[in-house]
Amino acid sequence: MIASPPATTPWPVSDKDEADRSQADRSQADRDEWEARAWDAFCRRDRAADGRFVVAVDTTGIYCRPSCPARRPRRENIRFLPDPAAARGAGYRPCLRCLPDQVARDRQAVATAIARIDAEEAIPDLATLASGVGYAPHHFHRLFKRAAGVTPAAYARARRAARTADALASETSVTRALYEAGYAGPSRFYAESDQRLGMLPGQWRRSGAGAAIHWTMAETPLGPLLIATTPRGVARLAFDEDATMLAARFPAATIREAEPQAREHLVDQLSRIGPADASLPDAARRTAFIEALSRALRADRGTLRT
């Protein structure tokens, strides 16, 4: 009988594991297990492990972030060290390909840009966002997408969509709501709103009158998520909401739980979406997750018709 390979746990490990790692009294078995997971993350070039440790290579004298694109050295030639300072202290130099010293700076740049998008009503352009954190636009775009799972523009549109939903519920007219949400004018608003609201803006204001909504609850890495769709688009994607709250939001709509087959399809779409970098604020990670799922559902209209 062939022995199965050891089970691996994806990064990030829990905070408790991280705290344990620094304890001098950790058992050898614990250290071996941690190193096995670190090696596994390194082999998979797991970006979620970046910032958790660095990999020092004895044969070249350099250290890398876990996701470095370079070829993997042999296991016996590497050491796992807690951070860049420890690696430099041990005489290693930073890799020029993966720039391991940049992990913290990159994360801070993305977090700063997210805070800026969150605070502004108009969607900031990429050049402004990038120069605000000291990066070239193209590079920053890639960095942001990698960390958040969506582009800066997509993230900003997700924020605007959330503001639109709130404004439609509180403003006295659709026109007032669209300006309140940060649209420059009605054309873009109407172009986007059908799919993003799953109904006409006027219907949304009239408590969902005439809309047929299907909902389901799904487990995600960021908590339970309410998914509500109509044949036109995505009516509602929200954490911390359930079918009761959906019914309260749309008392004039026809609301039904999704059929098992439709649910399975939704869950399948959802399972392809990775959460944003764990270093980002929870609210931003949820916004990014919702936007990634919303895009996937809008791209796959078959999901919505079932």
CA angle 264, 268, 269 (to 5 degrees): 120
Which lies closer to Zn ion via its Cβ, residue 66 or residue 152?
66
Q: Which residue has the tokens 């039904």?
A: 256
Measured distance CA(243)–CA(241) in Å, rounded: 7
Active site residue 43: no
**CA 108, 279, 224, 296: dihedral to nearest 10 degrees?**
60
Alpha helices (H) along the chain: 15-21, 28-43, 84-89, 103-119, 126-132, 137-148, 152-170, 174-180, 186-197, 201-205, 243-249, 260-271, 282-299, 301-305
Please indicate whether residue 64 is annotated as part of the active site. Answer: yes
- Cβ atoms of 52 and 82 within 8 Å: the answer is no
Q: How far apart are CA 306 and CA 297, in angstroms?
A: 12
Catalytic position from the list 13, 81, 95, 293: 95
Q: Which is nearer to Zn ion, 85 or 122 (CB)?
A: 85
Q: What is the 3-state secondary structure (H, E, C) of 242-290?
A: CHHHHHHHCCCCEEEECCHHHHHHHHHHHHCCCCCCCCCCHHHHHHHHH
Least separation in angstroms between residue 123's CB and Zn ion is 34
Which residues are CB-neighbours of 298 under 8 A, at least 6 positions away? 195, 196, 233, 234
Task: Kindly name the residue from 41, 54, 87, 98 that is annotated as catalytic.
Answer: 98
Shortest spacing between CB 232 and Zn ion, in angstroms: 47
Question: 73 CB contacts (<8 Å, ≥6 apart)?
Answer: 57, 59, 60
In the complex, the residues that contact Zn ion under the rule CB under 5 A are 64, 68, 70, 95, 97-98
CB of 81 to Zn ion, least distance (A): 14
Judged on CB neighbours under 10 Å (0-12, 13-18, 19+), 295 is middle
Residue 238's H or E segment, with its range, is strand 234-239
Cβ proximity to Zn ion: between 64 and 292 the closer is 64
d(CA 76, CA 187): 61
Closest to Zn ion by CB, 102 or 112: 102
**Which of 13, 64, 133, 147 is an active site residue?**
64
> Toward Zn ion, which CB reaches closer, 81 or 95?
95
Cβ nearer to Zn ion, comparing 90 with 252 = 90
Any idea which residues carry the catalytic annotation?
64, 68, 95, 98
